Every structure is written in structure tokens, then in C-alpha cells.
């Protein structure tokens, strides 16, 4: 019995080949070597597994290559996006810088405009002060001219009065001379009527009269000369006083003008110093504000870049983790499906083999009977 069982165990491989052969075909008619068929089948199954492994390796390599390509594309896209964001930031910064520069230029223009306006106002004020000084000088000049005119008028009046008096005197003298001439005529007539003795008296009287006239004329001339001298001295003194007063006034005006000019100069220097100090303070404040803004902007950019880098790193890690998870799930699913297919194939193979063994056993039992 043991020998029979051993024989039965050796033959199943040949018998099992019948399962793979259609019922209408006989092995004896085909003259097929069962051993070669088994070997071919084993080779085919081995080749199937080898091809399957190669396909899996190729699929893994393709997936790895695809993943690397996707990662590369994603990195390039991120680089392009980062470059675009950087360019947008640079353009935005340029716009902000241009706006700040425009604001600075407008402020400088406004400062220059205010300075020019301030200079114009100061020049106008100085012009008004100068005009006021000129008006006062003109007023003084007019007053001096008026006084001189009044003095000249007074002198002219005095001169006209003197001329009138002289004319009156001359006229009186002429009248007196005429009267004297008449008197002379009368006296001549009287002397002619009277005796020649009276001619001497008349001559004497005439001489006395002439001397008196001469003395009177001399006294009048001296008095007139004295009065003219006094008038001349008075006019000279008035002129001297006027010149001295004018000099004092000019000195006083020059001193006042110098004082005003010094005061205006000091005031202008003070205003310029205050304006310069204000401009410097404003410039320092703008520079400090600009530096603070740049530092804050730099810190903000660094923080944003750090946050973006952390976010990108986290997203990359999540993406890689998700991709690895999907690949792992696909590999597990593929391995499970492949294992199911392999198990089904092996199960089918061994089930067919067991059926063949049972058939062979039944045939052997029938033969033994």
C-alpha cells in the first residue's frame, strides 16, 4: 500500500497537466513531454512574477520620477511666484519711495515758497520803513524848504520894503529938492528982491542945508548899512544854525537808521537762525522717521519672509506627507490586490491539482479492484 501511495504521489504532476489541456485533446496524440510542459509552466509563472516585479519597479520609478517632476514644477512655480511677489513688493516699495520723495520735494518747494514769501514780506516791510523814513525826510526837507522860503519871502519883503522906503525917501528927497529948488527960486527971487547981503545968508543956509542933507544921508546910509549887516549876520547865523540843526538831524537820523538797520539785521539773523534750526529739526525728524520706517519695514519683511518660509515648509511637509500617504495607500492596495490575485491563482492551481489527485486515486482504486 505504501508503494502504491508513493507512486500516486509521483504521478500527480503529470496528471495535473491534464487540467490545463482541453478534454478534446489527447496527450498521446500530441506527443507532448509532460516534464517540458511543467517546466514551461514554471518558467511562465516565474516570468509572470518577474514581469510583475519589474512592472511594480517601473511603476514605482515612474511614480518617483513623476513625484520628483511635480516637486520640481512646484518649486519652479513657487520660485516664479516668489519672484513675482518680490517684484510686486519692489514695485510697491518704489511707489512708496517715489511718493515719499514727491512729498519731500513738495515740502521743500513749500519751504522755499514760504521763504521767498517771507523775504518778500520782509522786503516790503523794509521798503515801507524806508518809504516812511523817506517821507519823514521829505517832510523835514519840505519844512526846511518852507522855512527857507518863508525866510526868503521875509527877506524879499524886507528888501521890497527897503526899496519902497528908498523910493519914498528918494521921492521925498526929490519933492524936498523940488521944494528946495522952489525955495531957492523963491529965495533967489527974495534975494533978488532983497539985498545982496541976504545972498550970503542964503548961501550959508544952503551950505548948511547941504551939509545937513549929507549928514542925514550919511547917517541914513550908516543906519541902513548897520541894519543890512545885522540882517546879514542874522541870516548867516540862521544859516549856521540851520546847517548845525541839519547836521544834528542828519546825525540823529543816521544813528537811528543804523540802529534800525542793526535791529533789522539782528532780527533777520534771529529769524534766519530760527528758520535754519527749524529746517534742521524737521530734517532730523524726517530722517529719524524714515530710518524708523525702514527698520520697521526691514523687520516686517524679515518676519514676513520667515512666516512665508515656515508656511511654505509646513505646506511642503504636509504635501510630502500627503503624497507619501497616498503612495503608501496605493502601494498597500496594489500589494493587497496583487496578493489576492496571487492567492487566487495559487489556490486555483492547488485546487485543480487536488481534483486531479482525487481522479487519479479513483482510477487507481478501480484498477486495483
pTM, whole model, 2 decimals?
A: 0.23
Most confidently modeled of 79-88, 125-134, 172-181, 195-204?
Answer: 79-88
Percent of the chain scoring above 90 in pLDDT = 0
Predicted local distance difference test score (pLDDT) of residue 157: 78
Most confidently modeled of 98-102, 175-179, 348-352?
Answer: 98-102
Could you tell me if 353 and 12 are in contact, meaning their C-beta atoms sit under 8 angstroms apart?
yes
**C-beta contacts of 84-89 below 8 A and 24+ residues apart:** 89/301
Predicted local distance difference test score (pLDDT) of residue 63: 87
Predicted local distance difference test score (pLDDT) of residue 228: 67
With bands split at pLDDT 50, 70 and 90, how would you rate the model's confidence at 9?
very low
More confident residue, 81 or 362: 81
How far apart CA 60 and CA 67 sit, in angstroms, is 10
- pLDDT averaged over the chain? 75
Predicted local distance difference test score (pLDDT) of residue 2: 40
User: In a 3-state reduction of DSSP, which class is residue 267?
Assistant: helix
Could you tell me if 355 and 19 are in contact, meaning their C-beta atoms sit under 8 angstroms apart?
yes
Lowest-confidence range among 74-88, 122-136, 219-233, 238-252? 219-233
Could you tell me if 357 and 12 are in contact, meaning their C-beta atoms sit under 8 angstroms apart?
yes
pLDDT of 199-245, one tens digit each? 666 677 777 767 776 666 666 666 666 676 777 777 677 778 778 88
Q: Is the pLDDT score of 58 beyond 80?
A: yes
Amino acid at each position: 500500500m505504501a508503494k502504491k501511495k508513493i507512486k500516486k504521489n509521483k504521478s500527480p504532476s503529470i496528471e495535473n497537466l491534464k487540467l490545463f489541456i482541453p478534454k478534446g485533446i489527447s496527450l498521446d496524440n500530441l506527443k507532448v513531454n509532460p516534464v517540458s510542459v511543467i517546466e514551461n509552466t514554471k518558467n511562465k509563472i516565474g516570468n509572470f512574477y518577474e514581469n510583475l516585479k519589474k512592472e511594480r519597479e517601473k511603476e514605482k520609478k515612474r511614480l518617483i520620477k513623476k513625484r520628483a517632476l511635480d516637486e520640481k514644477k512646484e518649486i519652479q512655480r513657487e520660485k516664479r511666484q516668489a519672484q513675482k511677489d518680490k517684484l510686486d513688493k519692489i514695485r510697491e516699495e518704489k511707489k512708496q519711495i517715489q511718493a515719499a520723495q514727491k512729498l519731500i520735494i513738495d515740502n521743500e518747494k513749500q519751504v522755499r515758497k514760504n521763504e521767498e514769501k517771507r523775504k518778500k514780506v520782509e522786503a516790503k516791510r523794509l521798503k515801507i520803513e524806508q518809504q516812511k523814513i523817506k517821507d519823514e525826510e521829505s517832510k523835514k526837507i519840505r519844512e526846511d524848504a518852507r522855512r527857507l522860503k518863508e525866510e526868503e519871502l521875509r527877506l524879499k519883503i524886507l528888501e521890497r520894503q527897503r526899496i519902497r522906503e528908498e523910493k519914498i525917501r528918494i521921492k521925498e528927497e526929490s519933492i524936498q529938492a523940488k521944494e528946495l529948488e522952489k525955495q531957492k527960486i523963491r529965495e533967489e527971487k527974495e534975494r533978488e528982491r532983497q539985498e545982496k547981503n541976504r545972498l550970503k545968508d542964503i548961501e550959508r543956509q544952503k551950505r548948511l542945508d547941504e551939509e545937513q542933507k549929507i549928514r542925514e544921508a550919511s547917517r541914513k546910509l550908516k543906519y541902513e548899512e548897520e541894519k543890512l549887516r545885522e540882517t546879514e549876520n542874522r541870516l548867516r547865523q540862521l544859516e549856521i544854525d540851520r546847517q548845525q540843526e541839519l547836521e544834528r538831524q542828519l546825525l540823529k537820523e543816521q544813528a537811528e537808521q543804523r540802529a534800525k538797520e542793526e535791529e533789522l539785521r539782528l532780527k533777520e539773523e534771529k529769524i534766519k537762525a530760527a528758520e535754519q534750526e527749524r529746517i534742521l529739526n524737521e530734517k532730523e525728524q524726517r530722517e529719524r522717521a524714515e530710518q524708523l520706517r525702514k527698520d520697521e519695514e526691514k523687520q516686517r519683511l524679515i518676519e514676513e519672509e520667515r512666516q512665508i518660509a515656515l508656511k511654505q515648509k509646513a505646506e511642503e511637509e504636509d504635501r510630502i506627507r500627503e503624497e507619501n500617504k497616498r503612495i503608501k495607500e496605493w502601494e498597500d492596495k496594489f500589494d493587497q490586490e496583487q496578493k489576492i490575485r496571487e492567492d487566487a491563482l495559487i489556490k486555483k492551481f492547488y485546487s485543480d491539482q487536488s481534483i486531479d489527485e482525487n481522479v487519479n486515486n479513483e482510477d487507481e482504486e478501480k484498477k486495483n479492484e
